[in-house]
Chains A and B, each alone.
Chain A
Amino acid sequence: MNFELTQERQMLQDTLRRFLADRYDTRTRNEILESDAGLSANIWSEMAELGIVGAMFTQDQGGFGGAGFDLAVVFEELGRAGVVEPFLDTAILGGGLIAALGSDAQKELLDQVIGGTLHLAFAHGEPTSRYDLAQVETSIVQNGQNVTLNGRKAVVINAEAADLLVVSARESGAAGGAGGEDGISLFLVPTDMAGVELQGYPMLSGGRAAEVVLNNVTLPVSARLGAAGKAFPAIAERAAAASVALAAEALGAMETAVRLTGEYLMTRKQFGRPIGTFQALQHRYSDLLIELEQVRSAVINAAGHLESDAKTRDWHVAAARNLIGRAGRMVAEDAIQMHGGIAMTQEYELAHIAKRIIMTDHRFGDTDYHLERFIALSAA
């Protein structure tokens, strides 16, 4: 056992932390939140130059990381600074799926992804799928060398900025549950393709998403990623990777929330003394620190098993996401409460950080979803 980061990861963490501390302060971030694009193209390309996108890919894929711990290191820092740029969507999901399933020709796109010049989005969830990864109803009809897609995709994060969508669709079988896992394919769909309609909107915790309508979108079969109907294992693996990233992001954000709270407790005075001298708040603050240690361990457990077999991997991921869902709510709510009114204001750092923490609970399964997964996988 060794709980130290490797030298490379330590460097990655230091570089990223320094960069974000310099370049991503509350004001800059709040301007990005207010902007039409919902992300900063400059920040994106600078971070790609620093190798942040590359760190999400293995050496074989053209990167220099790609393991669970690489994701965890990067996303903890992104979370700490409340970064809203879609690294999860372009790199881990879109890029990760191309890397896992793509042909050599398709994999050539990864150079541009890693270089920061190509944006991707994973158009998978549908209006009624909630967190069920197998609930895919978008249809495919094959006509010789072409396929035609029809369907609707819900809350597709980064869809508007994306050059290409990675769209899931059903070749065979019925949607939903374990039975629905078979028969799902993925396609690379340019967002400017005829029949692709986006209805874009901002999200509460920053960034943008869109409802995507696919109306007789006709593509060459070469747009398919991997073998027909066999995409599910790769989707599940990337969902696990996304969960590791979200868990680490929540950890970083919680660290910021607790740090801000501690600082505030020692500076804010009421009744002639720092509010941090009231025992009622001291105990709550201590509980947050205790939770934070649990969260860090849960992230380590999940990240360390991302490369394990699917069942072990998913069991640890479910454990981490459930724990972090619970702890995240406590940290976000108590941090706001201990600040009082000031934390309710849009421009204060904690407001955004609290939203980042809570809203991770709405991607790739919430606290209850992961509890059920944990129970089911424990019994299996």
Chain B
Amino acid sequence: MDLSYSSEDLTFRDQVRSFLAEKLPSEISEKMRLGQVLGKAAFDQWHSILNDQGWLAPNWPAEFGGAEWNAVQKHIFEEECAMANAPRVVPFGLTMLAPVLQKFGSDAQKAHYLPRILSGEDWWCQGYSEPGAGSDLASLKTKAVRDGDHYIVNGQKTWTTLGQFANWIFCLVRTDPDVKQQEGISFLLIDMATPGIEVRPIILLDGTPEVNEIWFTDVRVPIENLVGEENKGWTYAKYLLTHERTNTAGVGSSHAGLNAVKRMARAEVSNGRPLIENPHFAARLALVEIDLLAMSTTNLRIVSKAAVGQAPGVEASMLKVKGTIIRQEINDLARRAAGPYAMPFVSEAVEGDNAPPIGPDYAGPVAAQYFNNRKLSIFAGSNEIQRGIIAKVKLGAMG
């Protein structure tokens, strides 16, 4: 056991710090600091800055252009990025689709899609969920029927995050309706510009158009866009989900969020003293910090066990549950810290236009974020589903 960073780790950390100081655009970090929503341009810009540095894909094997960092390096990078108010990279291509293509894709698919993910040429979105298929994803109904060298896709996907920015979508579709649900699903890559696709925004409870409904009407998809084998999509989908879950632990963003709450609580005054000295608020803050301290080590322990390009198994579910509880608690603290100024809803504050803030600049988005981040325990496999998985695996091993 050794909890300290090695000298290589420290060198790496200094490298990351100077990179961020030099390359992270201040307009972007300022928006992040104020909790404002980023537009496509900002995501694209940060993506290409990281790509130029060769740091976009720490999780990818080197043969595909990945950085192949170890767990500690990944941890350092995430922490430093969060502290510097850097945005997270959009995960759909980089951390969801890419591992699937690397493991199950054809050589042609790897050669075509992976570089385009790195370059930012393709923005992917995730077409898993449907109105009737949420937790029970395997019940999905969107169907793909073979017609010569095409599939004809009909159906509806929903909750598609940032689908409005995407030019590609990876979809789970039903290719065999007559077998056990899990055995009739395929994994298809679909160009969003194909005729018959319609994207409709869904406005979330914080007023943001973050997700979409996507309708498919006789959409013709070339058969070479099938990943792996027909009707084996469920295996690939589950593989992707473990990668997605590990990502949602969000240790870095929790640290940044906690720091933001501390800044707020130093500025706010309660009973003539800074709020951070208020015993009840201080206790709430301390409890989350204590949890996060342990969680951060849990994350390192678990991530360091997984090999390059691999994701942990049932532990990913544990990280997801605990990580999201902590993040949501931090959102709750931020809301409390803002006091009455949590009430104004200034969409400019969320979207980042230059309207003058109402009250202190940190207060604007906190309540909206509190509500928006209720999603953390719902998506990427709800926390109830994760608990079910943990119990099934662990109890199953005992039976």
Contact = CB atoms under 8 A, between A and B. Distances in A.
Do they bind each other? yes
Interface of A: 125, 127-128, 130-132, 154-155, 157, 176-177, 199, 201-205, 209, 211, 269-272, 275, 278, 280-281, 329, 333, 336-337, 340-341, 343-347, 351-352, 354-355, 358-359, 361-363, 366-369, 371-372
Q: Which of B203, B280, B344 gathers the greatest number of chain A CB atoms within 10 Å?
A: B344
Interface residues of B, number: 54
A262 to B, nearest CB: 17
Nearest to B129: A341
B135 interface: yes
Interface in B18-62: none
B340 A341 contact: no
B135 A359 contact: no
Q: Which of A125, A130, A157 gathers the greatest number of chain B CB atoms within 10 Å?
A: A130
A278 B342 CA distance: 36
B344 A359 contact: no
Contacts, number: 142
B379 interface: yes
Interface stretch (B111-119, B225-233, B315-323, B366-374): B366-374
Interface string B260-299: 0000000011111001001011001000000000000000
B346 interface: yes
Nearest to A347: B203
Nearest to B360: A127
A368 B384 contact: no
B177 interface: no
A269 B133 CA distance: 9
Given A176-B272, A346-B204, A341 B341 contact: no
B345 A202 contact: yes
Contact of B203 (A132, A201, A280, A346): A346
Contact of A130 (B205, B339, B356): B339
B343 A205 contact: yes
A213 B287 CA distance: 39
Contacts of B129: 341
Across chains A and B, which 4 residue pairs bring their CB atoms closest together, nearest first?
A: A351-B205, A204-B345, A270-B136, A368-B280
Contacts of B110: none
Contact of B336 (A154, A203, A272, A366): A366
A337 B136 contact: no
Contact of A177 (B132, B272, B378): B272
Contact of B332 (A130, A329, A369): A329
A227 to B, nearest CB: 27
Nearest to A369: B270
A333 B374 contact: yes
Given A201-B346, A280-B384, A155 B341 contact: yes
A372 B280 contact: yes
Contact of A368 (B134, B278, B377): B278
27 contacts: A128-B269, A131-B270, A154-B359, A155-B344, A176-B271, A176-B272, A199-B356, A201-B346, A202-B344, A204-B343, A204-B367, A204-B368, A205-B343, A271-B139, A272-B136, A329-B332, A333-B374, A343-B374, A344-B204, A344-B205, A344-B374, A352-B205, A363-B343, A366-B339, A368-B278, A368-B281, A368-B284
Contacts of B382: 337, 340
B359 A155 contact: yes
Interface in B174-196: none
A93 B338 CA distance: 23
Contact of B268 (A130, A199, A362): A130
